[in-house]
């Protein structure tokens, strides 16, 4: 089993810049966000770039990173439903 310092260094090595205010995002979270973009695009017949712009506008990427731990182990349909609920809430808050 890796020690805490070794695990931290391992994660830092696979970190990349994240443009929405976070200093770093781990490789696992980045792959999860990408996976969610592709799933959403397929469900809605959209291109990945369009979904990324929509997710950025609604704050979905931050939501997915912040909720990575409880979401990444769920099924595809559950994750997509959670994304849509989040986006519906974001739209309602913007209209309030």
CB 32 within 8 A of CB 64: yes
pTM for the predicted model, two decimal places: 0.71
**43-72 pLDDT tens trace:** 999 999 999 999 999 999 999 999 999 999
Spatial distance between the Cα atoms of 40 and 30, rounded to a whole number of angstroms: 15
Task: Report d(CA 14, CA 26) in Å as an integer.
Answer: 6
Q: Which residue has the higher pLDDT, 19 or 67?
A: 67
């Amino acid at each position: 089993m890796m020690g805490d310092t070794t695990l931290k260094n391992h994660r830092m090595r696979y970190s990349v810049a994240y443009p929405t205010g976070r200093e770093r995002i781990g490789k696992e979270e980045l792959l999860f966000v990408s996976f969610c973009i592709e799933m959403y695009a397929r469900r809605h017949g959209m291109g990945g770039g369009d979904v990324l712009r929509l997710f950025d506008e609604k704050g979905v990427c931050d939501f997915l990173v912040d909720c990575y731990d409880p979401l990444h182990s769920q099924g595809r349909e559950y994750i997509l439903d959670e994304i849509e609920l989040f986006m519906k809430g974001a739209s309602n808050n913007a209209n309030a």
